[in-house]
Chains A and B, each alone.
Chain A
């Protein structure tokens, strides 16, 4: 079984995001594999450990994304493909999915795993568009996955219960939280991963031209949250009175 895992590199969940000049400033940000993608990667490695085959991690981005591909190696991925695009922030989901579809042409994958959405943009579209471009089935939000040589069985949370889907292969499956707990990359894995080559494909060489359908005009930080305010008063009754006054006269909500 050959499995492809889509990996997006995102800022760490605790990173402080600075936006200026219409762009996210990348200096000082720690980049990680998007948490849902990490779950997808873990699932792929578990399937490989059970049934054999290979796991390939693919990522679109600038040279930094090679770090995430190395982390994928350290966890147990066999191959890594880096689709290089220095201005990848400006690409939309359609462009990214098109690049992946093109890059895997002629390669033999039976299963594609990806996170249900990237933790930065929460877009969740790349796997769906990839499915459309390839004509493969997509099952989203998997919480349990079973694969045999003919088909995939995917359990998905549904209103008040569980839905179970069966699909022929190839299939694209997106991972939900709770599908598994990703392993930590081990020191020995990291040391071995350093020597592994990463296949680099230039986005421009894929011959897609300007493929984005959505033009990203720029990024802006959210407005700063107004300062909280303490209501002062001699006793609880006085504080309540002052609060009521402020809500009525200043904020005008009551």
Chain B
């Protein structure tokens, strides 16, 4: 290696050896990727600067990978160079009293909570993959998860970023301040940028106190019409923490694929998991009201930490158990909360007409209108064209005033759809991308 990469502190993998590292070249989307010429495990920001310089000089594509838990193919290698930040996983500073932490971007998301729990603090972005996703990946996708209702998405946690742009500049978007009104917010451009503007190397993040007492309840619903009023009732308690839902099809697959036992002694149309920071007596009155106006048929209480973890397993294992042995088309979409029920009702009505045998499975974050729509395909349906299904789904999303991507990003999957439905927005996005990545190495 007679070039810049030879000066790198971290490891550089090349040649045949690359084939031992295939896991670093793609995320969980199952989309295509091209084996790169080099895989770099960066140890420092200066390594990253060298990689960017190398790619500019040699006109090579550069893909950044985090924990590769993404669902949009955004992290998939496109030949050229792949850089991983997994060795850049240090905590640089921890201001306990102010609940602020300064980390390198390669740190595993849940590790931040593990490190700060002793001080009664946690990092509030949490979902089934945060045990392996990285903060850099979360920031680059503006990850959401199950606590968005209470704490907001990743965007709400980031105070400031250090970035190496696609031109090789080292950019500090600000500092560890909680308020910042100095013109356009540069950090916000990088949040959700899917590695297309630069490489995030460091972040100041805010932490939150660990909730004192959580009550977790699983409600059984007999119809779709009850979802929205139940969500409304649950929200009336200011301390609502999480509000998740899944349908009967999900529940059946969970019981079969995840060896989780049935929750009730009969089936229900929908299951809603609600978590409040409250005492169980307070929650009791809300649930009794829901029961008395037939919004719910019954509910299960998890009052202990152990029982809560058990109940959450149902929600957390959905994604994996759907993919287990099935071909799945996944849609991560966002619908304005006030249109969610209508949207789901229309889907259920229209799907059988257009795709009579299609197995539609719905779950997601009820509280913020983020629906994960899944179509499980068996042999017969393999022939269904992805494109036509995409179009069918997205037209309904647009009609409902929703967003094509709630939290998984555009990636390879949705960029062209975004361009089609939002040409003007897409144009401006491209303009911004060409400022930070004029040579197009990151795209």
- Interface residues of chain A, those whose CB is within 8 Å of chain B, are 12-14, 28, 30, 32-33, 35, 71, 74, 181-182, 184-188, 190-191
Question: Digit string of B293-308 for contact with A (CB within 8 Å is 1, else 0)?
Answer: 0001011111111110
Whether B213 is near chain A, meaning CB under 8 Å from some CB there, is yes
Contact B301 A13 (CB under 8 A): no
The reply to whether the CB of B357 lies closer than 8 angstroms to some CB of chain A is no
Partner of A191, one of B261, B288, B296: B288
Q: In the bound complex, do residue B298 and residue A188 qualify as a contact, i.e. CB atoms below 8 Å apart?
A: yes
Q: Can you list 9 pairs linking A and B with CB atoms under 8 Å apart?
A: A13-B306, A30-B213, A33-B304, A35-B304, A184-B218, A184-B263, A186-B300, A187-B296, A188-B298
In Å, the complex CA distance between A9 and B287 comes to 25
**Which residue of the partner chain, among A32, A186, A191, contacts B304 with CB atoms under 8 Å?**
A32
A13-B291 contact in complex given A28-B212, A188-B298, C-beta closer than 8 Å: no
In the complex, how many angstroms separate the beta carbon of B344 from the nearest chain A beta carbon?
25
Q: Using Cβ atoms and an 8 Å threshold, which residues of chain A touch B299?
A: 186-187
Q: How far is the CB of B216 from chain A (nearest CB, A)?
A: 10
Docked Cα-Cα span, A187 to B212, in Å, equals: 23
Complex Cα distance A200/B236, Å?
37
Residue of A nearest to B216 (CB): A184
With CB as the reference atom, state the residue of chain A lying closest to B307.
A184
B34 at the interface (CB under 8 A from A): no
Q: Is B362 an interface residue (CB 8 A)?
A: no
Query: With contacts defined as CB atoms under 8 Å apart, how many contacts are there between chain A and chain B in the complex?
Result: 49
Identify the closest chain A residue to B218 (Cβ): A184
Q: Shortest distance in angstroms between A34's beta carbon and chain B's nearest beta carbon?
A: 10
Interface of B is mostly: mixed
In the complex, the answer to whether A184 meets B261 with C-beta atoms within 8 Å is no
B213 touches A184 (CB 8 A): no
Contact partner, B301, options A12, A14, A28, A184, Cβ 8 Å: A184
A13 touches B304 (CB 8 A): yes
B300 touches A12 (CB 8 A): no
Minimum C-beta distance from A84 to chain B (A): 21
- Nearest CB of B to A192, in Å: 12
Q: How many whole Å from B300's CB to the nearest CB in chain A?
A: 4
CA distance A188 to B288 in the complex (A): 9
Residue of B nearest to A29 (CB): B213
B175 within 8 A of A: no
Query: CA A184 – CA B307 in complex, angstroms?
Result: 8
Interface residues on B, range: 20 to 34
Task: Say yes or no: is B284 at the interface (Cβ < 8 Å to chain A).
Answer: yes
B305 & A184 in contact (Cβ 8 Å cutoff): no
Cα A184 to Cα B217 in complex, Å, equals 10
B284 / chain A contacts, CB cutoff of 8 Å: 190
The answer to whether residues A35 and B306 also contact, given A184-B218, A187-B287, A191-B288 and a CB cut-off of 8 A, is yes
Closest CB in chain A relative to B230 CB, distance in Å: 13
Residue numbers in B under 8 Å from A185 (CB-CB): 300-301, 303
The answer to whether A190 touches B301 (Cβ under 8 A) is yes
With both beta carbons as reference points, the residue of chain B lying nearest to A74 in the complex is identified as B301
B231 at interface, CB cutoff 8 A: no
Asked whether, in the complex, the Cβ of A187 is within 8 Å of the Cβ of B304, the reply is no
B305 touches A14 (CB 8 A): yes
**With the chains together, A181 CA to B300 CA distance in Å?**
14
CA distance A35 to B307 in the complex (A): 10
Q: Which residues of B296-349 have CB atoms within 8 Å of chain A's CB atoms?
A: 296, 298-307, 310-311
Q: Which residues of chain B are within 8 angstroms of A74 by Cβ–Cβ distance?
A: 301
CA distance A17 to B119 in the complex (A): 14
Partner of B302 from A13, A181, A184, A188 at Cβ < 8 Å: A184
Q: How far is the CB of A9 from chain B (nearest CB, A)?
A: 12
Residue of B nearest to A185 (CB): B301
Q: Are A184 and B306 in contact (CB under 8 A)?
A: no
- B251-303 contacts to A, CB under 8 A, are 261, 263, 284, 287-288, 291, 296, 298-303
List of B residues within 8 angstroms of A191 by Cβ:
288, 291
Which of A14, A35, A74, A181 has the most C-beta atoms of chain B within 10 angstroms of its own C-beta?
A14
Q: A187-B287, A187-B298 are in contact. Are A12 and B304 (CB under 8 A)?
A: yes
- Of A14, A28, A33, A184, the residue contacting B300 (CB under 8 A) is A184
The residue in chain B whose Cβ has the minimal distance to the Cβ of A194 is B284
Residue of A nearest to B9 (CB): A235
Inter-chain contact A186/B305, CB cutoff 8 Å? no
Closest residue of chain B to A35, judged by CB? Answer: B306
Asked whether, in the complex, the Cβ of B301 is within 8 Å of the Cβ of A186, the reply is yes
Residues of chain A within 8 A (CB-CB) of B298 are 186-188
Contacts of A186 in B (CB 8 A): 298-301
